């Protein structure tokens, strides 16, 4: 997106706690801002503040954006356009598992065991890929949370389709975006009312694998990037754990992409 001169979307704002605080204020029965009229004043002032903040940080561009990975509902601002990208949850759990190792997140005792192996040899789980997701509890918990998030996001988009909420959105699967990046990038520019002709050409950093299909850096934030590599890491049993918990989200993404 940032290859277009009228777009600045370079960071994660993580504003969800502010949105939650506003909702808490609105739900306080003893507060004046819980009343319908005053609550609307609060929302309007808050939404204006959020939009101004993002513009101030991103600079003087026609489109300024926040790219925090979060649910549509958690930071919903009426009328603000949303570029919504879904990633296959099976790829996402592999990526998340590596993030827990690289950044020492507390994900339970079994992942702590994995961390010790990883510290001794960052390539351990590339040499023993099907050990990465060997903990059933970890896989099921991640899959359940991913499923709930995707289902809720689709409910939001369906509400927008029925004109129940003002949520202009463009949905694209991460996998499709990699298949034909230029096509979908141009469609997104059109969604934003911009001319694709003014954008700089795609480059190596916009290609799957960051320019090389063989890229795989286990101890790097930008580890791999290619879609579909989850198949290298899952055993049949591990896949069954994931599918048990995330079947609804997998169906939604597959159905709506067809």
What pLDDT, on the 0 to 100 scale, is given for residue 257?
Answer: 59
pLDDT (average), residues 133-149: 95
Grade residue 19 by pLDDT with cuts at 50, 70 and 90: very high
Q: What is the mean pLDDT of the chain?
A: 93
d(C-alpha 244, C-alpha 19), whole Å: 32
Q: State the pLDDT at residue 256.
A: 61
| pLDDT at position 188 | 97
b/e 5-34 (16+ beta carbons within 10 angstroms → b):
eebbbeeebebeeebeebeeebeeeeeebe
The predicted model scores a pTM of 0.91
Question: Higher model confidence: residue 17 or residue 216?
Answer: 17
β strands within the chain, DSSP E: 7-8, 63-64, 82-86, 169-173
Cα dihedral 70→76→77→80 (10° resolution): 60
Q: What are the tens digits of pLDDT across the range 230-257?
A: 999 999 999 999 999 999 999 999 866 5
C-alpha torsion sign, points 246, 144, 184, 177: negative
Q: For residues 62 and 6, what is the distance between their CA atoms, to the nearest angstrom?
A: 5
End-to-end alpha carbon distance in the chain: 25
Q: Is the CB of residue 39 less than 8 Å from the CB of residue 95? A: no
**Mean pLDDT of the 165-187 span:** 95
Whether 9 and 62 have beta carbons less than 8 Å apart is answered as no
Percent of the chain with pLDDT over 70: 97
Handedness of CA 56, 59, 63, 67 (dihedral sign): negative
- Range in 43-57, 101-115, 149-163 with the lowest mean pLDDT: 101-115
Helix/strand/coil for 165: coil
Helix (H, G, I), strand (E, B) or coil at 258: coil
């Amino acid at each position: 997106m940032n290859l277009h001169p009228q777009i600045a979307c370079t960071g994660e704002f993580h504003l969800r706690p502010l949105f939650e605080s506003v909702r808490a204020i609105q739900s306080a029965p003893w507060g004046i801002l819980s009343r319908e009229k005053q609550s609307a004043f609060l929302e309007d002032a808050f939404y204006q503040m959020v939009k101004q903040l993002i513009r101030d940080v991103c600079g003087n561009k026609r489109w300024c954006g926040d790219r925090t990975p979060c649910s549509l509902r958690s930071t919903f601002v009426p009328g603000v356009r949303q570029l919504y990208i879904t990633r296959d949850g099976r790829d996402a759990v592999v990526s998340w598992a590596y993030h827990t190792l690289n950044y020492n997140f507390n994900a339970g005792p079994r992942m702590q065991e994995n961390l010790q192996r990883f510290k001794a040899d960052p390539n351990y789980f590339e040499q023993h890929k099907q050990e990465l997701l060997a903990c059933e509890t970890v896989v099921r918990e991640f899959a359940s949370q991913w499923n709930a998030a995707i289902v809720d996001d689709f409910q939001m988009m369906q509400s927008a389709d029925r004109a129940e909420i003002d949520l202009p959105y463009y949905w694209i699967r991460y996998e499709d975006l990699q298949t034909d990046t230029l096509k979908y990038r141009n469609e997104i520019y059109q969604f934003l009312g911009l001319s694709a002709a003014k954008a700089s050409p795609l480059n190596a950093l916009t290609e799957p694998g960051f320019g090389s299909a063989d890229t795989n850096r286990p101890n790097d934030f930008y580890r791999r990037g290619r879609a579909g590599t989850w198949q290298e890491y899952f055993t049949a049993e591990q896949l069954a754990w994931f599918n048990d918990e995330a079947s609804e989200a997998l169906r939604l993404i597959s159905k709506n992409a067809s």
